[in-house]
Amino acid sequence: MAVDAAELTVARARAEIESGALSPVELTDAVLERISERNHELNAYLYVDEEGARAQARSAEDAGHAPDLPLRGIPMCVKDIIDVADMPTTAGADHWRRDPATDAASVARLRAAGAVIVGKGNTNEFAYGIDGHNPHWGDACNHHDPERITGGSTSGPATAVAGGLALAGLGTDTGGSLRVPSSLCGVTGFRPSLGSVPLGGVVALAWSFDVAGPIARTAEDCAVLLAVLQGRPVAPPDPSPAGLRIGLLAELLADHSEPHVAEGVERAAETLRAQGAQVVEVRPRDLHLAPAVFRTIQLVEASRAHAKWFNRQRERYAPRVRDLLECGRLLPADAYVAAQQARRLLVDEIADTVREHRLDALLAPATPVTAPRRDAATVTIGDREVPVRAALLSMTAPVSLLGGPAAAVPAGTHEGMPFGAQIAARPGAEATVLRIATALQGADAG
């Protein structure tokens, strides 16, 4: 059969593979063909292992009917700060490399479930950025318009999934690195609860916030990938949000998002109400302080994570990353501890809001804008010019403080460019986030 890798979801591919209508080798060949057609334009992959991918696909084919392998034959793109055996890890840098003999713990789980690891996806250098720019290997470009950014730092896997160069991706998220590129590329990204997916074999950025998680075309696909990554049995998400109470973070809508984004998220709220959920506006105190708290902690932790390499070769880092690391190493312990105190305060305030309103989840934009042009330094939000990086982090970094799961799901398009809604919940409430995300996408598909 002719395979269109750009149209397939993981769920559909799995069903066709299990029924015998699609072979893992055909599917991997179709993805490799898409890569040869489009990777020069999108720069999604920094490294492709064609031979290895075909060998994995043949093994998946040889396994025959295997319902216990939920990802059998599914081609995946892994962000290049995560180790894959026998592929280089460069972290998007040109001066740093390791050649791991073993998979990162998360990759090992995907592979054990039958996934085919095709190659390594583009990233901001050391995942330290939110725009998808990479001065060493070139920017990843947005599938919907290559003149626009993908968002980052999981830039390559996001545009690969959007463009059919993979059916799913594995990335990391510190302040929004799964959710922001998912929003700007029109796919679904899932940030798991802190500590729920093993981080062995992943280049650290900021321990207080780092997680590894999936990107796919649908929430249903993310549910499968997430279960595998968390070492749980795969169970389809409940597709109905009926009975849930959801808090709409009003402060992040009105003055902080473009009108089309705010309208899209309000439409999402209406969709959920129509399906039986209650959506109420909430305004947690001090939420606007979250980006300052996030940045202070990240600066210090990243500086520490890089201390050994930075002292040896600081001049070889990308200028922006170098400046951030220089800045972080100057900050005193007092500032770091104060920021962690402030984090505790903000988490408690948001938890109080959730308790007071008896909420199951929170709803907000995933990004305040659609993808800016690649040469843009600022975006316009209302009557304000905001630096691109600050704007892109403004919706997701506050949620990273909370420690719970969060997803970005497509919520609309503006002038052909997608944007996403963000759903967040208390630590461990992955099923609730998936339930809401699935409800939104089910309504959209209908």
Partner 1 sequence: MAEDLAERLLFAVARELEGERRNAVLNLLREVLADLEVIDRLPLEGVEPQAGPPRWP
Residue with tokens 């062995």, as numbered in its chain? 200
Structure tokens at 329: 């190493």
Alpha-carbon Rg for the chain, nearest whole angstrom, is 20
CB of 332 to partner 1, least distance (A): 7
CB of 200 to partner 1, least distance (A): 17
Please pick, among 79, 106, 155, 257, the residue that the annotation labels catalytic. 79
CA pair distance 420, 428, nearest whole angstrom: 22
C-alpha closest to that of 111 among 78, 150, 134, 139: 78
Please pick, among 23, 106, 120, 153, the residue that the annotation labels catalytic. 153
Closer by beta carbon to partner 1, 41 or else 385: 385
Structure tokens at 320: 């922006």
Three-state SS for 357?
coil
Q: Which stretches of the chain bind partner 1, using CB under 8 A? A: 193-195, 208, 286, 289, 291-293, 295-296, 299, 319, 322-324, 326-327, 330-332, 334-335, 337-345, 347-348, 351-352, 354-355, 401-404, 426-427
- In terms of DSSP bridges, do strands 245-249 and 361-365 run parallel, antiparallel, or are they unpaired? parallel
Element (H, E) at 313: helix 307-313
Closer by beta carbon to partner 1, 217 or else 306: 306
79 annotated active-site: yes
CB of 78 to partner 1, least distance (A): 24
Closer by beta carbon to partner 1, 104 or else 324: 324
Please pick, among 23, 106, 155, 177, the residue that the annotation labels catalytic. 177
Three-state SS for 269?
helix
CB atoms within 10 A of CB 27: 24
CA pair distance 444, 261, nearest whole angstrom: 16
β partners of residue 216? 168, 188
Closer by beta carbon to partner 1, 213 or else 403: 403
153 annotated active-site: yes
Closer by beta carbon to partner 1, 119 or else 404: 404
Please state the separation of Cα 347 from the chain's center in Å.
22
CB of 401 to partner 1, least distance (A): 8
CB of 128 to partner 1, least distance (A): 13
Would you please indicate which residues are annotated as catalytic (active-site) residues?
79, 153, 177
